[in-house]
Amino acid sequence: MEKIYVLDTNVLLHDPLAIYAFAEHKVVIPMTVLEELDVIKDRRDKDVSREARLAINTIDKIVGNASPKALQSGVPIRVMGEELGTEDSTQNTEGSLAIFPDQMITNTDNIPFLNGNHDHANDNRIINVGLSLQATNPRSSICLVTKDINMRIKAKGSGLERVEDYKKDRVLDDLDLMSKGYIQYDGSFWSTVDSVKSEAHGRHTVHVIARSNLPTLYLNMFIIDEEEFVGFVVNLDKEFVYLLDISKQNLMNQSFWGIHPRNLEQAMAFYLLRHDNSDLMIMTGPAGSGKTLLALAYGLQVTMEEKRFNKIIVARSTPPMAEDIGFLPGTEEEKMAPWLAAFDDNLEILHGADEHSFSSIDYVKQKANIQFKSLNFMRGRSFNNALIIIDEAQGLTQFQLKSIVTRIGSNSKIIVLGNLAQIDNKYITPLTSGLTYLVEKCKSFKYASIMHVNGIERSRLAEFAEENL
């Protein structure tokens, strides 16, 4: 059965190369989608407008000099060999791309038709394309692909048989499967191991265990159990896993800039932050679990005391209602202050007990050379000898995170923070968040580390509100 996929605008904004994701099947782009991309490409929101332009260029590359008739019936999708991972310079994926002139659809007795109000006219036109193709191609499978949940419901309610979310960028089927940076065993970990060889390396002990007993491990992760064993994966090969035996007491006695871990998860995060072999540290966890505080305390320790970095760059994406940081008088740091207030709050925690706390905070900002940046203006730059902290990363796409991580220069480290329960982007879910994608991809990168921290300290009023309001 022929499969025809109708793409919504948000799919191409989410992944400008989505056209290549449907293999040998036919991809249909409604004229309304092209019109929306044309409007979006000139927006002030640099990330969204960039994705729109890239999507338009991708379509133009495939269409080439095709005639109007060929364009409406479908032109072959040809892609460069390096994009497919093949050695051929050009290759046909056997799929096709067609533009559907949805302005020509009329309301007939044979085809369900949505008109609706002006605010939803574009969504309705795109749904109408799927309904029209379904009515005129009874032997084909027609599927509307959209990131908009409400649009999927409307399409099904209008009679469209197949409506799907765009899933190519998903690396997980269930968020519970996402790596936390550690595996916890009930009872004793050693009761699950058949044999072990322990080696002494100076003051350290390394346990060598058969890989078959621990198939899901990756570098720089922990194994813990209820009997206070803590093992850290320092190496692995096809046959063996090498676990560094770490004292739980030593983990809990760590400190950065005067703060100590309150639980084992925070202690493991301390260890990973300190780990010299980690260029990228990802910390996930609920609000109030200490992610920002740990990152900031570590940053002050390694810039002011140890002189490892020359500056701390704190950045986050401004929300959609404030796509531009503004043109009013003031520096970039002053304009970013409302969105980075959490870092000022944590600086107050670190120095609030000082005799002159406000003077101490201002001194620390200047001495540690803390710079506040908007992610919208980081593309094209390179950061050397710097510690970069990316806050609220859960609302970023994988393309946005990639553009940030590629900015990291020599002798620099990046810490990515995020809470997947607080996503404000209407087109991103926890499973499609760039943060989830980064966590799963970085398991195969030996210079990255991951930790899910917990240990929320809330007032009794906050706990009541969380459970009852």
* Tokens read off for 10: 């948000």
Cβ atoms 20, 93 nearer than 8 A: yes
Q: What is the amino acid identity at position 94?
A: E
Q: How many CB atoms lie within 10 A of CB 344?
A: 12
Cβ atoms 31, 101 nearer than 8 A: yes
**3 state SS of 81:** helix
Q: Which of 388, 382, 398, 383 has the alpha carbon at shortest distance from 434?
A: 398
**3 state SS of 200:** strand
For residue 169, what are the CA distances in angstroms to 14, 409, 441, 444, 449?
A: 9, 27, 12, 17, 22
Q: Which of 257, 187, 242 has the alpha carbon at shortest distance from 210?
A: 242
Cβ atoms 385, 412 nearer than 8 A: yes
Which helix H or strand E contains 449, and what residues bound it? strand 448-452
Cβ atoms 218, 443 nearer than 8 A: yes
* Tokens read off for 18: 């989505």
Backbone angles phi, psi at 244, to 5 degrees: -80, 125
pLDDT digits (tens, 9 = 90+) for 334-382: 555 665 566 777 777 776 666 666 677 777 878 888 888 777 667 677 8
**3 state SS of 402:** helix
Predicted pLDDT of residue 321: 38
Predicted pLDDT of residue 330: 61
DSSP state of 186: S
pLDDT tens for the chain, 469 residues long, are 899 999 999 999 888 899 999 988 999 999 999 999 999 988 766 668 888 999 999 999 999 899 999 999 999 997 654 444 444 444 555 789 999 998 777 766 566 667 655 666 888 889 999 999 999 999 999 999 998 889 999 999 999 999 999 987 777 777 788 899 999 999 999 998 889 999 998 889 999 999 987 878 999 999 999 999 999 999 999 899 999 999 999 999 999 888 899 899 999 999 999 988 889 999 999 888 889 889 999 999 999 999 999 999 988 776 543 445 555 556 656 555 665 566 777 777 776 666 666 677 777 878 888 888 777 667 677 889 999 999 889 988 887 888 888 888 889 999 999 999 888 776 688 888 889 999 999 998 999 999 999 866 666 787 787 677 7
Predicted pLDDT of residue 322: 44
Give helix 341-351 / helix 357-367 axis angle, nearest 10°: 120
Predicted pLDDT of residue 93: 57
Cβ atoms 8, 33 nearer than 8 A: yes
- Spell 103-121 as b/e; 16+ CB within 10 A means b: eebeeeeebebbeeeeeee
Please give the angle made by the CA atoms of 1, 137 and 106, to the nearest 5 degrees: 155
pLDDT digits (tens, 9 = 90+) for 71-123: 999 999 976 544 444 444 445 557 899 999 987 777 665 666 676 556 668 88
Alpha-carbon distance of 206 to 159, in angstroms, equals 62
**Cα 153 versus chain centre, distance:** 26
Alpha-carbon distance of 45 to 51, in angstroms, equals 10
Cβ atoms 443, 282 nearer than 8 A: no
* Tokens read off for 298: 């570590």
